[in-house]
Amino acid sequence: MKAALFLLFSCSVVLGQMPPRQPVPEVIRIEAQKATQVLMNRVVKGDIDAAFKHMNPKWKKIEARKNGGEAKLNRKFSEGFADLQAKGITLRATQSKFPSTAYEVDFGHQEQIVNGERIKVGVYKQWMVFVPTVSQVTAVDRGAVPPEIVEMRLDSFQIALCEKGKNDWTFIDGAHIKGAELRQLFPFLPKDEEKLGFPKRGGRVLKIGGKVPANVPGQGR
């Protein structure tokens, strides 16, 4: 059986097809959601270093190459956070939601003993879970007289990654990522972004100066 599975996976790779995956268990999705919430709680408290520290190592290398090295990438993170604060933009809270999209990723081969014989079996080595997040953000509209507090809702997601058999999650921010970029790490992901299943991204204004704007559906009418 293992030998047949190995042949099936190997043929899939040679033909450029996606090797078959198994559904990601609910317990793994829950672990990813919890780990995401822990990370976001730290970021809300101002620990921006947590986001950099727990960034997926392979993704960090890709981003570091784009930004002149890991030290410069870290500085870019810190400066970006400080710039938001200087502009009066504050992340008040973030809630992680139960993820509906998850994959087995990181296809490779592992040696296993089958019927006393050592063979290489095709396996996916990691879990990848798209964890939706809903954030409450406030900003100061300094163009208004007097300046007004603007309350916003932001929908985004974190890509949580973990080696199978462990509970040590790393993350990729999903706010602006494209499927083609993610396939740099995991080439067997669906090429169609709709099929890939990214969670909702976007934002809307909830209140301006304590009042609900007229263009917010279902509120203030």
pLDDT tens sequence across 22-40: 999 999 999 999 999 999 9
- Of 45-49, 51-55, 132-136, 194-198, the range with the highest mean pLDDT is 132-136
Count each helix (H run) and each strand (E run) in the chain, helices first: 7, 6
- Residue ranges of the domains in the chain? 2-7+21-208
Backbone angles phi, psi at 50, to 5 degrees: -65, -40
d(CA 192, CA 194) in angstroms, rounded, equals: 5
Give the lowest-confidence range in 6-10, 18-22, 131-135, 155-159.
6-10
Residue 12's pLDDT is 41
pLDDT tens digits, residue range 102-129?
999 998 887 777 788 888 878 899 999 9
CA distance to 42, 178, 179, 195, per residue, from 36 (Å): 10, 20, 20, 23
DSSP 3-state assignment of 68? coil
- From the number of C-beta atoms within 10 Å of its C-beta (0-12, 13-18, 19+), residue 142 rates as exposed
Looking at residue 20, the DSSP 8-state letter turns out to be P
pTM, full prediction = 0.84
